[in-house]
């Protein structure tokens, strides 16, 4: 549908690209996702190849009628470019997770070795040589521009991922430590400071139950 509506491809081209895309999916399964899995995680099925290709052709034929009711490509592009001039909160959020996803892929391909080095290369070295863009920001047509000439500019990605990922984990463990310390003090002193503060104590009712 996309190839017909946006690229104006013929049915032959749609057939060819649908076949190639389906073949890419099917044969990628045999490569164990390029070594990430210990063995092929699914079977390569010729039926899937045929049905996926047929689905591309069906989408093309459906779009022949549907595109008459849709706005023109040029109008969509004009509106998209105008809207794209603003880096919206959604684009910022998408950039955050896209960069995190791509970084994770590179870490997996490196079999978990040197994650900090990979982080430095992805978020510092690549933007330095690639017009202040990461791979994710390049895909989303975003660049990070300096407002002041300061070295803090290069520390921004480290702070952001610390703030949104590591800090919540740290707070979680601080909360756990807080409860652990208070439980320890309770076992030592048998009561806590708030019992004295509110002039209360906890008493057992076992004797009353036996008496009754």
Question: Are 56 and 107 members of one domain?
Answer: no
Count CB-CB contacts under 10 A for residue 192.
11
| Proportion of the chain above pLDDT 90, given as a percent | 25
d(CA 73, CA 67): 10
Closest CA to 143 of 134, 152, 155: 134
Residues 96, 51, single domain; the answer is: no
- The sign one gets for the Cα dihedral 174, 177, 181, 183 is positive
Nearest Cα residue to 9 out of 59, 54, 78, 50: 59
The mean predicted confidence, pLDDT, of the chain is 85
Query: Would 203 be classed as within a structural domain?
Result: yes
Does residue 199 have a pLDDT over 80? no
DSSP 1: -
On whether residue 116 sits in a domain, the answer given is yes
Could you tell me if residue 168 is inside a domain? no
State which of 54, 77, 100 marks the end of a domain: 77
- Between CA 34 and CA 109 the distance in angstroms is 9
Q: Based on the fold, state whether residues 138 and 195 are members of the same structural domain.
A: no
Average pLDDT over residues 152-167: 86
Residue 91: name the closest of 163, 140, 133 by CA: 140
Cα 172 versus chain centre, distance = 21
**Number of independent structural domains in the chain:** 3
Q: What is the pLDDT of residues 162-190, one digit of tens each?
A: 888 888 888 888 988 988 888 888 888 87
Residue 22 domain-assigned (yes or no): yes
Cβ distance 4 to 14 under 8 Å?
Answer: yes
Q: Are residues 24 and 59 in the same domain?
A: yes
Which of 94-103, 133-142, 202-211 is predicted least confidently? 202-211
pTM over 0.85: no
From 139, 162, 185, give the residue that closes a domain. Answer: 162
94 within domain boundaries: yes
Position 11 in a domain: yes
DSSP 31: T
Residues 13 and 52 placed together within one structural domain of the fold: yes
Pair (96, 124) in one structural domain: yes
Q: Are residues 50 and 27 in the same domain?
A: yes
Please indicate, yes or no, whether residues 61 and 97 belong to a single structural domain of this protein: no
Sign of the C-alpha dihedral computed for residues 84, 88, 92 and 93 taken in this order: negative
Give the mean model confidence (pLDDT) for residues 22-31.
83
| CA–CA separation, 126 and 120 (whole Å) | 9
Residue 118 lies in a domain: yes
Lowest average pLDDT, out of 15-29, 33-47, 164-178, goes to 33-47
Final residue in a domain of this structure, among 46, 77, 108: 77
The answer as to whether 123 is a domain residue is yes
- Domain extent, residue 57, equals 2-77
Q: Among 138, 140, 102, which Cα is nearest to 118's?
A: 102
Q: What's the pLDDT tens digit per position in 90-125?
A: 888 899 999 999 999 999 989 888 999 999 999 999
Both 153 and 182 in one domain: the answer is no
């Amino acid at each position: 549908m996309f190839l017909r509506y946006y690229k104006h491809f013929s049915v032959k081209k749609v057939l060819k690209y649908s076949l190639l895309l389906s073949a890419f999916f099917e044969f990628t399964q045999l490569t164990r996702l390029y070594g990430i899995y210990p063995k092929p995680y699914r079977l390569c099925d010729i039926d899937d190849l045929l049905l996926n290709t047929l689905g591309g052709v069906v989408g093309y034929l459906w779009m022949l009628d549907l595109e008459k009711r849709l706005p023109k490509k040029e109008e969509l592009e004009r509106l998209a470019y105008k809207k794209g001039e603003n880096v919206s909160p959604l684009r910022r959020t998408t950039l955050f997770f896209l960069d995190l996803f791509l970084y994770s892929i590179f870490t997996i391909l490196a079999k978990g070795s040197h994650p900090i080095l990979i982080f430095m290369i992805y978020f510092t070295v690549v933007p330095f040589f690639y017009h202040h863009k990461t791979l994710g920001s390049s895909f989303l047509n975003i660049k990070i521009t300096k407002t002041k000439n300061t070295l803090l500019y290069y520390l921004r990605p480290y702070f952001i991922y610390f703030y949104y990922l590591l800090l919540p984990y740290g707070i979680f463990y601080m909360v756990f430590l807080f409860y652990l310390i208070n439980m320890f003090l309770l076992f030592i002193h048998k009561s806590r400071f708030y019992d004295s503060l509110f002039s209360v104590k906890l008493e057992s009712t076992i004797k009353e139950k036996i008496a009754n």
